[in-house]
Chains A and B, each alone.
Chain A
Amino acid sequence: MSSAADRYNPTRTLVLTVVATIAAVIFLAPFYFVAINSVKIYGDILRNAAAFPRTFQVQNYIIGFRTSNFLRAFGNSLFITSISIVFMVFLGAIAAWRMVRRPHWFSKLLFSLFVVAMVIPFQSVMIPLMRIARMFDLLNSRNGLIVIYLGLGMPFTAFLLHGFARTVPLELEESAYLDGASTIRIFVSIVLPLLKSMLATVTILQAFWIWNDFLLPLLILFDDRLQTIPIAIFGFFGQYTDQWDYALATLMMGITPIVVFFLFMQRFIIRGVIAGSLKG
């Protein structure tokens, strides 16, 4: 759409650039305020939150880091997100491929159930889920939480991969089958490589969800030692209500890892969002 006519219209380009710049400043302003105030002493924050910091209070970060037990929370988030994703994507992929290749009544039923389940809000199942979690001993355990993520994330994962598995050409698999390869061999050596870009999409979408998820870990994990980053930050704010000097430093620590990840993987992530939405 960046048609030739646009490029020959410098005035309009300038106006649009100015509008975009103003919007960008508004979008970034909240982060700017959190960042500059996270290194101030408490009195300076109250006096003038807009002023550039006169001091650099590393103390805020040290106290925030220790009190929120940030490293532990980071480790928990990383563990829960990565293990959930590995299993979710692999199990979702084999199920999706099977549903495509063997479209019998059960595959069709399962697929429709997945579609219906995607509309169910989490809050509609969370109450009985607590009972189920207690029954299967999933409460207060990182592995238990992972099991719940596998269940909740399966519909969307399998649905997305189902849409993509349909485009995998059958001929390749058939010739391998005639050569006597087992089904699992065919899947791993032929289908999986072809699904690679879609697996990346699913991984990104689901990883953001699990990394940032708040309500489920709040309900499942009671032990401080199991806290994920959102829970640790929430707990910190509960303890230090509006104690902004430490709180803003802690917020910065919560924001940084995911923003760094985003900046490095930007193209990849945006492509994933587009691919995921067009299918969904």
Chain B
Amino acid sequence: MVRNRTHELLNDIAFLGPAVIFFTMIVVASFFLGIYYAFTDWNGISLTANWVGLENFRTIFTDDRQVGYSALFTLRLTITAVILSNTIGLGLALIVTRAIKFANGFRAIFFLPNVIGGIILGFVWRFIFTGAFPSLSRIIPLQFFQLPWLGDAFTGFWAIIIVFTWRTTGYLMVIYIASILAIDDALIESAQIDGASGVQMFSRIILPLIAPAITICLFLMLSWSTKIFDVIFSLTRGGPFKSTEAFALNIYFEAFQANNYGLGSAKAILFFVVVGIATLVQVSITKRWEIES
């Protein structure tokens, strides 16, 4: 029996050990070290960091205007992107699951942008906005092509939304397709026999039945949008004049450009808390809605 217990313990160490070591060393250690740094003035280089108490948090809430702007920008971006991507993704899923030709081809095309990295996609669109659009506007005189796309805060915001929606929609569509295909044909047919209209069919039958997929897609979009970095970094670098600097970029610049590692850590902790709460709230609300419908 004793031998058996040592045996099990050895197996625990052998099987769980490696995962625990890598996870602890990288994630757990960083997380707690980050909390410590949030209360210091560490500059990233010196070996010592001075304890400054709540000073960094005071700076964030009173002195730093940009961080508030970045938070609000991320919020606006998140709300817009979550709504747009899910609406278009669900719309495309509904179209592709109808008996149209080349459904698999369409599905692949809509998914395609998702497999390419955000940095590359951002550069692709920088060319579209600054190279292709001005050129197109000479052939097709649409105001849409003449806007200063990456040149001011308003158009910059929408430029990011366009790229990000284009990138994420296909992924959500794939999840919606799987969920729509899982709906029992008999339900749809009996509703049709009962004379349900297209709108009724969608709101009373399809929507409630794909509720779990909606929860997943809202969750994914929420977590991708709040953390958005790559696309903005290559598209606008947060400019012009920091007007498209999302929260993740703000943390990056604070730490690695201004060398305020302590202040950056404080922002990083706040970022985690806000993202964590937002995610929890979203999941619990949509879960409740899932059960009700």
Name A's B-contacting residues (CB within 8 A).
1-7, 12-13, 16-17, 19-20, 23-24, 27-31, 33-34, 37, 45-50, 91-92, 94-95, 97-99, 102, 106-107, 110, 113-114, 117, 119-132, 136, 147-148, 150-152, 154-155, 158, 183-184, 187, 208, 211-215, 219, 229-230, 233-234, 237, 242, 244, 247-248, 251, 254-255, 258-259, 261-263, 266, 269-270, 273-274, 277-278, 280
Whole-angstrom distance between the alpha carbons of A130 and B132 in the complex?
39
In B142-189, which residues have CB < 8 Å from any A CB?
Answer: 166, 170-171, 174-175, 178, 180-181, 183, 185, 188-189
The answer to whether B26 and A274 touch across the interface, beta carbons within 8 angstroms, is no
- Pick the residue among B30, B119, B226 that contacts A230 (CB under 8 A): B119
Whole-angstrom distance between the alpha carbons of A24 and B96 in the complex?
11
The answer to whether A127 and B265 touch across the interface, beta carbons within 8 angstroms, is yes
* Chain A residues near B31 (CB-CB < 8 A): 120, 124-125, 128
* Chain A residues near B27 (CB-CB < 8 A): 117, 120, 125, 151-152, 154-155
The answer to whether B22 and A125 touch across the interface, beta carbons within 8 angstroms, is no
The answer to whether A16 and B98 touch across the interface, beta carbons within 8 angstroms, is yes
Q: Which single residue of chain B is at the shortest CB-CB distance from A182? A: B11
Closest chain-A Cβ to B13's Cβ sits at a distance in Å of 10
* Chain B residues near A154 (CB-CB < 8 A): 19, 22-23, 27
Encode B112-132 as 1/0 by CB contact (under 8 A) with A.
Answer: 110111111001110110111
* Chain A residues near B100 (CB-CB < 8 A): 13, 16-17, 20
The answer to whether B113 and A27 touch across the interface, beta carbons within 8 angstroms, is yes
B50 interface residue per 8 A CB criterion: no
The answer to whether A234 and B234 touch across the interface, beta carbons within 8 angstroms, is yes
* Chain B residues near A13 (CB-CB < 8 A): 98-100
* Chain B residues near A237 (CB-CB < 8 A): 123, 234
Q: Which single residue of chain B is at the shortest CB-CB distance from A147? A: B22
Q: Across the A-B interface, give the 4 residue pairs with the lowest CB-CB distance, nearest first.
A: A151-B26, A212-B117, A95-B19, A49-B135
B39 interface residue per 8 A CB criterion: no
Whole-angstrom distance between the alpha carbons of A76 and B20 in the complex?
27
Whole-angstrom distance between the alpha carbons of A254 and B31 in the complex?
33
Closest chain-B Cβ to A166's Cβ sits at a distance in Å of 16
The answer to whether B189 and A129 touch across the interface, beta carbons within 8 angstroms, is no
Q: Which single residue of chain A is at the shortest CB-CB distance from B105? A: A24
The answer to whether B101 and A17 touch across the interface, beta carbons within 8 angstroms, is yes
Q: Which single residue of chain B is at the shortest CB-CB distance from A21? A: B106
Given A7-B99, A23-B92, A121:B22 Cβ within 8 A: no
Whole-angstrom distance between the alpha carbons of A261 and B21 in the complex?
33
* Chain A residues near B181 (CB-CB < 8 A): 1
The answer to whether B101 and A2 touch across the interface, beta carbons within 8 angstroms, is no
Binding site of A, secondary structure by majority: helix, strand, loop or mixed? Answer: helix
* Chain A residues near B101 (CB-CB < 8 A): 17
B192 interface residue per 8 A CB criterion: yes
B272 interface residue per 8 A CB criterion: yes
Whole-angstrom distance between the alpha carbons of A31 and B28 in the complex?
41
* Chain A residues near B14 (CB-CB < 8 A): 94, 183-184
The answer to whether B19 and A121 touch across the interface, beta carbons within 8 angstroms, is no
- Pick the residue among B36, B113, B117, B128 that contacts A211 (CB under 8 A): B117
The answer to whether A128 and B265 touch across the interface, beta carbons within 8 angstroms, is yes
Encode B25-43 as 1/0 by CB contact (under 8 A) with A.
Answer: 1111111011011000000
Whole-angstrom distance between the alpha carbons of A122 and B265 in the complex?
12
The answer to whether B107 and A128 touch across the interface, beta carbons within 8 angstroms, is no
Q: Which single residue of chain A is at the shortest CB-CB distance from B20? A: A110
Closest chain-A Cβ to B84's Cβ sits at a distance in Å of 14
B255 interface residue per 8 A CB criterion: yes
* Chain A residues near B118 (CB-CB < 8 A): 212, 214
* Chain B residues near A278 (CB-CB < 8 A): 175, 178, 216
In B212-244, which residues have CB < 8 Å from any A CB?
Answer: 216, 220, 223, 226-227, 229-230, 233-234
Whole-angstrom distance between the alpha carbons of A117 and B276 in the complex?
10
- Pick the residue among B8, B108, B132, B188 that contacts A263 (CB under 8 A): B108
* Chain A residues near B124 (CB-CB < 8 A): 30-31, 34, 251, 255
B268 interface residue per 8 A CB criterion: yes
Whole-angstrom distance between the alpha carbons of A269 and B33 in the complex?
37
Given A17-B100, A119-B279, A130-B44, A3:B185 Cβ within 8 A: yes
Closest chain-B Cβ to A219's Cβ sits at a distance in Å of 7
